[in-house]
A and B are shown apart, each in its own frame.
Chain A
């Protein structure tokens, strides 16, 4: 017999994981907007953020004996800065040269290679095993009409929305944000305004990895963390960016939630072995029938 409550339960937990996909996909959009390039190591940026967050948080906790929720909050600025530095490094090592020489494919290989290097690095520092990330919020689920919601899941949704809103505010309100938007719209004309567009591209990589690192510390308390955390998430988020459209902010949220929910439903009703299939089928369908994405405006560049 069909259990309606289970369905709702799956949808609710799908939403929170979908928001993570959305945030990481949002990160893909940030670099695509300014430079028409993507960081294929975005998943590894998420993984590194989560592991760096783990280390920072346990250090803060052990040295000062600070309670977990406070240690979590104190850890956030460090992880965000770490993410920015990591993203800037990726741009500097892997993307800048490709852009300068107008290489069509150089950045693809370079960002994939850097992702693999980061993964190996993480395996050597933190080991190959997965481990638990300390949960800053109560493990006890909140019950709403029989639906169980983890406090951390609520935080994921709120945090993801807050982060995207913050970047949006930066772009709309600050002069540097406007420079980013101008660079995305017309890089040559932005240069004529006196904007150092190479720096803007670096900034977009920094912000992109910042969002991934933030997603890493949001998701880790409800999953496990470890050097292998990134690959699957990065790929899923990439699918979301394509499904939602590389140019649409709403698209990644809708696309992320859509994929998060189909994942969960397939995992429960069919088999966890097929969990990844519907999302990827959706990806193929979108690529065939609406390559600019469900919400995208312009066609994406051949990759």
Chain B
């Protein structure tokens, strides 16, 4: 579904990604783990067009999307729940979700049943249903995270990019986020998950990539990575 080859990207003259390749199959949950500054967020930003890759290629379902603007990439079905959530604080919860379906409502993606999808999101995230008409800026961090994920899902995406959905959340909420991700996986949503909680991410994922200094240092089925001594030592820690 999503194929990345030799991706080089960064900010100005600083190259963060030194040429990474990865592959996300349809219906798969793939996780990208690594320490802070390894380039996880940069990878997602390059995939969704928030920054322009310097080199390499990105394909979605066979179509080349390398170098397109983020709105064009979104129209191809890549949904990105970005770092820091980035919900629209001055819009209501419902309007944030409606914005998630912007491409469907304006004819650049198949419309489907937006109303039914809204209802589905409120089912999936009951807390959002309670706050339907509240401004997103007044939500708690956990609720904003739910909203960011739900908003991305409103695209009916071919692939969903999730950037550190657990960041800054209380342990109980982190659990909730991961159980939501499991449910999405069960519903066959194709996902690329960037996470700092490597153990939890590998627990739910089918496949994993370990990013180190802008390069893929290891990859393999999540089960295998979880038991890989080197990965264990570097990212999972003794406590996990």
A residues neighboring B (CB under 8 Å): 175-176, 178-179, 181-182, 184-186, 188-197
Please list 9 pairs of residues, one from A and one from B, whose beta carbons are closer than 8 Å in the complex, sorted by A's number.
A175-B98, A179-B99, A181-B88, A181-B91, A188-B86, A191-B69, A192-B79, A192-B152, A194-B155
B residues neighboring A (CB under 8 Å): 48-50, 69-71, 74-75, 79-80, 82, 86-91, 95, 98-100, 102-103, 105-106, 108-109, 151-152, 155
Distance A178 CA – B151 CA, assembled complex (angstroms): 14
CB-based contact A194/B75 at 8 Å: yes
The answer, among B69, B87, B102, for a CB contact under 8 Å with A175, is B102
Distance A190 CA – B98 CA, assembled complex (angstroms): 12
The answer, among A178, A184, A196, A197, for a CB contact under 8 Å with B99, is A178
Task: Give the interface centre of B71, B80, B151 by most chain A CB atoms within 10 Å.
Answer: B71
CB-based contact B74/A178 at 8 Å: no
Given the interface pairs A185-B91, A191-B50, the reply to whether A196 lies near B102 with Cβ below 8 Å is no
CB-based contact A192/B108 at 8 Å: no
Distance A197 CA – B99 CA, assembled complex (angstroms): 13
Distance A195 CA – B88 CA, assembled complex (angstroms): 13
CB-based contact A186/B106 at 8 Å: no
Chain A residue with the shortest CB-CB distance to B151: A193
CB-based contact A175/B106 at 8 Å: yes
Chain A residue with the shortest CB-CB distance to B79: A192
CB-based contact B90/A191 at 8 Å: no
* A residues less than 8 Å from B71 (CB atoms): 191, 193-197
* A residues less than 8 Å from B48 (CB atoms): 192
CB-based contact B90/A175 at 8 Å: no
CB-based contact B95/A178 at 8 Å: yes
CB-based contact B82/A192 at 8 Å: yes
CB-based contact A185/B108 at 8 Å: no
Distance A100 CA – B132 CA, assembled complex (angstroms): 36
A181 → chain B, closest Cβ, in Å? 6
* A residues less than 8 Å from B82 (CB atoms): 188-189, 192
Distance A178 CA – B108 CA, assembled complex (angstroms): 17
Distance A184 CA – B91 CA, assembled complex (angstroms): 11
Closest 4 CB pairs of A and B: A194-B103, A194-B74, A191-B70, A189-B86
A167 → chain B, closest Cβ, in Å? 16
* A residues less than 8 Å from B152 (CB atoms): 192
Task: Give the interface centre of A176, A182, A197 by most chain B CB atoms within 10 Å.
Answer: A182
Distance A188 CA – B88 CA, assembled complex (angstroms): 11
Distance A192 CA – B155 CA, assembled complex (angstroms): 10
B179 → chain A, closest Cβ, in Å? 25
* B residues less than 8 Å from A194 (CB atoms): 71, 74-75, 102-103, 106, 108-109, 155
Distance A203 CA – B185 CA, assembled complex (angstroms): 40
CB-based contact A191/B74 at 8 Å: yes
